[in-house]
Structure 1
Amino acid sequence: MDIFRLTPDPSGNIAWPTLSTTKKSVVTVGAFDGLHRGHRRVIARTVERAKELNAYSVVIMFDPRPAFVHAYAKAHAGMDVPANVHDPDAITAVDARLRMLSAMHVDYVLIVRYTLAFSEKSFRFFLGQLVGKVGMRLLVLGEDARMGAKLEGDIKKIQDLAAATGVFELEVITDDDGKVRVPAQFKPIAPEEPGEPGDPLAGLNKDERRSWSKKNNAREVRSVSSTNVRYLLSQGRVRDANAILGHPHGVEGTVTHGEERGRTIGFPTANLEEPIEGYLPVDGVYAGWLIDLGPADDYERDQQELSGKPNPEEQQPLASVTVSDTPIVSHRFSSSAIDSRLAPESPFRWPAAISIGTKPTYSEQTGRNERVLEAYALTDDWIDLYGHRVRVEFEGFLRPQIKFDTTEELVDELKHNVEQTRDMLSK
């Protein structure tokens, strides 16, 4: 899989790469945050049709998320998102998405840095560029896809454009998974009771559902959607979120030194430093997995080499072209080394009891109330992961954060959580 990282110039124009002068492309477009089952249906069809047409399969992926860019601009007097600003609502880091796309045998991924100037380009101009520069013969989209300035380009208008020009075709992948209602402005709400929380609408009659929707200012969204995944994780409903994703939700980061209190009570944890890549579920204790991806410096160097991250001192691109001072940089991506660590039987993967929160038992005496993620690997020996890049995957919610009166009570509860984790993961 080859990757191009593309940055629009100040006017929003992109120097699109010419993938081939003779071979056409089958293209799909989106942020693909989370790469949930709906995304993968669209991408799998893109790959399938490309093979049928002897064409390249091309995924155009926006980063940062368009919604984040526009929200940031609204809060910062119309500014674009600076390169070092973290998006806490992104479900999945770009690196993780690239690993999944590689496993789906996509030929090319074009990562477009989404900017306000780029967002002002019409969908007609955008699609014309894809036809003329990327060789798009077929465009594959989900049925609710929209693109271009003010999201004017819906499926009907794109279909009309394809029919009028005759230079590309549109294939629409329909969604049969239904819709759900989600609060318009939901906030993380920690469950009050142990165990995986259920659907608050389950068992309600029509009037009760209407009352709930009104109280929460709920809106209808697709069941299989990034918005619904975000909502479920914000309520601690990990299993429901994982069912939509089609894989365990995970976050990634570098292990740093914490207070090291866990080691003194027999539960040494791996603490992740900020920023953590991926959407953090609501505060609580979870069962899941801790995966060592290797020393963070080695990981970053490898990703720079494999996925085209800018670092001119340490890497040479496969291809580099400059148009209007806007560089095109292409790299060939291979995630085999990381894939082996992520594999189910990998020696670098351990069951883990995971805590997200502010450590209420000790926050009064320490005066520290920052939100932290720490994972206790269920192994016989302590594992030194300081300075390592790790992935933490969530399988289920165990309990809310609790303030214990004594350390002994906390230790007893942690032992119980460890047994719960073993039991849940064994199933």
Structure 2
Amino acid sequence: MKTIHTNHNLTDMYNHPDVALAIGFFDGLHLGHMSVINTMKEIAEEKELAKAVMTFDPHPSVVLNPEKKRTDYLTPLDEKRRLLEAIGIDYLFVVSFTSKFAQMAEEDFIRDYLTNNHVKEVVAGFDFTYGKFGKGNMMKLEADKQGFNVTAVAKQELNTAKIATTHIRNALIEGHVNEANAQLGRPYKISGLVVQGEKRGRTIGFPTANVAPDEAYVLPKLGVYAVTLKRTGSDQLLKGVCNIGYKPTFHDPAVSAVSIEVHIFDFAESIYGERVEVFWHEFIRPEQKFSGIDALIAQIKQDKESAEQLLADISLD
């Protein structure tokens, strides 16, 4: 997959064959987003066009609504890029969402980012908007199109609820991992590096991999989770129990940073410096402060047993 960062240097963007294009911010690449992208892929294959996705960076709220700006994501840009490449997208256009871009006239967006960009098919969600003040919508795009066809994908629902990034974010923040995963269509994932930690876990019989996210991910509710983990370059799925939080038994939350520590079952290798992916499956309990090491160890044993039961049906193949 070729990634093209526009930075509004549009001449560089145009160096590619005719494409079918899915447009949206696509944070999460959830089931609703995938309906748009899969529709684009079907049209591309039928019309023998390259498959392309256009997204924006940063989130438009950074420019349009600073008081409620979104700076953490379900799928930060690099994560989004990896997921799109894995499903066979040929081109990813990353449009810089700046104040200048936000003021662009609707007809200029159509001309510069669609018609001149060799776009022959445009696919987007029914609620996609563009141009200054977001006045352009899918009906107007159909009316004003220049050299391309337009397909609007209807609202996607799960159990009568709209599938939406906001719902998924809220579900994760509240610890409702199952609800978030159902709308994502897969377990929520955070990628990062295994870094040196305090190494306290190994002294109490539960060594952990301290995972430092490499992008600004939405963090689930603080607490203990049943998780799986993959190492870079390996398809092997490892099961574990994860604590995300401040470790209040040892630290003052007011002055400590959040850490993600995974105890991997039946695993003794050193993986410092490796990039890993942590998949979140089930919330077990909130983070809590214990009276001492013995109480902590007893609870960790219970958490491990709970995680083993919750992950029992997940295949390691």
Q: Give the TM-score taking structure 2 as reference length.
A: 0.90
Choose which of 117, 139, 161 in structure 2 pairs with 1:156.
139
Query: Quick one: which amino acid aligns to residue 156 of structure 1?
Result: M
RMSD, matched Cα: 2.4
Partner of residue 305, structure 2: 419
Q: Residue by residue, what CA displacement relative to the aligned partner does 1:165-211 show, whole Å, maximum 9, x if unpaired?
A: 5x22211111241698xxxxxxxxxxxxxxxxxxxxxxxxxxxxxxx
Q: Residue by residue, what CA displacement relative to the aligned partner does 1:219-250 show, whole Å, maximum 9, x if unpaired?
A: xxx62111111010010000110000011101
Task: Give 3-state SS (helix, strand or coil) of 2:29's partner.
Answer: coil
What is the alpha-carbon distance in structure 1 between the residues aligned to residue 159 and residue 267 of structure 2?
45
Partner of residue 369, structure 1: 256
Q: Is the 8 A contact 1:143 1:174 kept in 2?
A: yes
Moved over 6 A (4+): none
What is the alpha-carbon distance in structure 1 between the residues aligned to residue 11 and residue 243 of structure 2?
43
Distance 1:98 1:276, change over 3 A: closer
Task: Give 3-state SS (helix, strand or coil) of 1:99's partner.
Answer: helix
Q: CA deviation at 1:71?
A: 4.2
Distance 1:368 1:266, change over 3 A: farther
Distance 1:274 1:176, change over 3 A: closer
Q: Residue by residue, what CA displacement relative to the aligned partner does 1:343-385 show, whole Å, maximum 9, x if unpaired?
A: 3xx2xx3111111111111125x9853221111111242x312
Q: Is the 8 A contact 2:158 2:183 kept in 1?
A: no
Partner of residue 18, structure 1: 15
Whether 1:169 and 2:166 are equivalent positions in the alignment is no
Task: Give 3-state SS (helix, strand or coil) of 1:384's partner.
Answer: coil
Whether 1:37 and 2:31 are equivalent positions in the alignment is yes
Report 1:19-168 matches (<5 A).
19-20=16-17, 24-72=18-66, 88-162=71-145, 165=146, 167-168=147-148
Distance 1:26 1:352, change over 3 A: same
Distance 1:170 1:274, change over 3 A: closer
Query: Quick one: which amino acid aligns to residue 52 of structure 1?
Result: E
Whether 1:357 and 2:296 are equivalent positions in the alignment is no
Distance 1:95 1:275, change over 3 A: closer
What is the alpha-carbon distance in structure 2 between the residues aligned to residue 400 and residue 68 of structure 1?
31
Listed as ranges, the gaps of 5+ residues in structure 2 are none
Task: Give 3-state SS (helix, strand or coil) of 2:291's partner.
Answer: coil
Q: Is the 8 A contact 1:358 1:371 kept in 2?
A: yes
Task: Give 3-state SS (helix, strand or coil) of 2:16's partner.
Answer: coil
Q: CA deviation at 1:107?
A: 1.9
Partner of residue 8, structure 2: 8
Report 1:179-258 matches (<5 A).
223-258=162-197
What is the alpha-carbon distance in structure 1 between the residues aligned to residue 105 and residue 11 of structure 2?
13
Task: Give 3-state SS (helix, strand or coil) of 2:311's partner.
Answer: helix
Query: Quick one: which amino acid aligns to residue 33 of structure 2?
Result: H
How much identity, in percent, do the aligned residues show?
Answer: 29
Query: Quick one: which amino acid aligns to residue 425 of structure 1?
Result: L
Q: Is the 8 A contact 2:105 2:131 kept in 1?
A: yes
Task: Give 3-state SS (helix, strand or coil) of 2:221's partner.
Answer: coil
Q: Is the 8 A contact 1:8 1:15 kept in 2?
A: no
What is the alpha-carbon distance in structure 2 between the residues aligned to residue 372 and residue 14 of structure 1?
43
Choose which of 194, 199, 224 in structure 2 pairs with 1:285.
224
Q: Is the 8 A contact 1:249 1:393 kept in 2?
A: yes
Higher relative contact order (CA 8 A, sep 6+): 1
Q: Is the 8 A contact 2:123 2:150 kept in 1?
A: yes
Q: Residue by residue, what CA displacement relative to the aligned partner does 1:98-143 show, whole Å, maximum 9, x if unpaired?
A: 2221232222111222222122112321111234322112111111
Task: Give 3-state SS (helix, strand or coil) of 2:157's partner.
Answer: coil
Partner of residue 404, structure 1: 290
What is the alpha-carbon distance in structure 2 between the residues aligned to residue 242 and residue 274 of structure 1?
19
Distance 1:88 1:387, change over 3 A: farther
What is the alpha-carbon distance in structure 2 between the residues aligned to residue 275 and residue 16 of structure 1?
27
Listed as ranges, the gaps of 5+ residues in structure 1 are 76-80, 82-86, 181-221, 294-337
Task: Give 3-state SS (helix, strand or coil) of 2:272's partner.
Answer: coil
Q: Residue by residue, what CA displacement relative to the aligned partner does 1:275-310 show, whole Å, maximum 9, x if unpaired?
A: 5542111101011112222xxxxxxxxxxxxxxxxx
Partner of residue 260, structure 1: 199
Distance 1:129 1:179, change over 3 A: farther
Q: Is the 8 A contact 1:285 1:354 kept in 2?
A: yes
Query: Quick one: which amino acid aligns to residue 170 of structure 1?
Result: V
